[in-house]
Amino acid sequence: MRQNRVRQTVLPVLAAMIWGTGFVAQSIGANYLESFSFNAARSAVAMVFLFGVSVVRRKLGRVPAVPIRDLLTAGGCCGACLTVAAYFQQKGLETTSSGKAGFITALYIVVVPLLSALLGRRPPVTVWAGVVLAVGGLYCLCVGEQFTVTPGDAYVFVCALCFSVHILVIDHFSLRVDGIEMSCVQFSTVTALSCLGAAVMRETVTTDAVISGLGPILYAGLFSSGIAYTLQILAQKGANPTVVSLLLSLESVFATLSGALFLHERLTVREYFGCCLMFCAVILAQLPQRKKEVMPELSHG
């Protein structure tokens, strides 16, 4: 029991910290590679890492028997959703700050219950209050004095919607297959689809660009992708969705802090106020509910 509590508390915080600092790596990587190319590179690193871990675990006999079709279906569906979400996030980071991107991405915590309502599950009053605060926060963060929204902010907002779908897909499959192997198939799918996207969009990739962006690629691939997304899957299994999702949403705080520390980013007073509104929205959306109103399990990405 105590091990489960540690897993459900420590793993989400670690994932949130890695994702938050990962926004810095993604921002730097955007200077060298275009969106699909960067995501293909980081996903390939994650795929190789997770494949090695899976091979070792299988040799140790620590992987439950699961039909390969179920594993491919789960990883393929998760990977397809993650490909779209990661593309819009990386595209947005080309023109918006990592701190703002972290808070806008955290909007998925509010969107997921709303999507659940479309599936016949009525969100409680606190979720609707969170939506109002989140809209206000997004306005302060993204809408300029001339009532304009930057393309980067819009891309990251779409990313948050896509991550919401990704969360629900993981919730559907997480108890059916091994988490680490599902993550490996997931990033194999992201690698393949991102390579296809780079070819369709005719992105230019040079050896010099890959070498120059190798640090961000390795960090985003090994830590943000290979480790953090796997921690997300493992933390979600059998966990209290309210506690885990609230801890995962701390990525927005880590993103702002790391952006200020490493990239010397500064937000205006209005933008900091927007961050506070969105953080309050995240907390409101995840307050414990009465048993009959319990929402599906949540996690990032």
Q: Tell me the per-residue pLDDT of 229-257, one tens digit each, with 9 for 90 and over.
A: 888 878 777 655 545 666 777 787 788 78
The pLDDT of residue 296 is 46
The pLDDT value given to residue 212: 95
Alpha carbon distances (Å) from 263 to 32, 33, 99: 16, 18, 10
Cα separation of 279 and 203, whole Å?
36
The total of other beta-carbon atoms located within 10 Å of residue 168's CB is 18
DSSP 8-state code for residue 225: I
pLDDT, position 265 = 81
pTM over 0.85: no
Q: Would you tell me how many other CB atoms lie within 10 Å of the CB of residue 144?
A: 10
Of 180, 111, 162, 171, the residue nearest 299 (C-alpha)? 171
Question: Low-confidence residues of the chain, pLDDT below 50?
Answer: 242, 292-301
Residue whose tokens read 């927005």: 252
Bridge partners, residue 25, by sequence? none
What CA dihedral angle connects 119, 124, 127 and 131, to 10 degrees? 80
Please name the residue ranges forming H helices in 237-297.
241-248, 251-262, 269-285
Question: In whole angstroms, what is the distance from residue 222 CA to residue 118 CA?
Answer: 35
- Cα–Cα distance between 273 and 74 in angstroms, integer? 39
pLDDT given at position 146: 59
Q: At what angle do helices 2-29 and 98-105 cross, to 10 degrees?
A: 140
The pLDDT of residue 293: 45
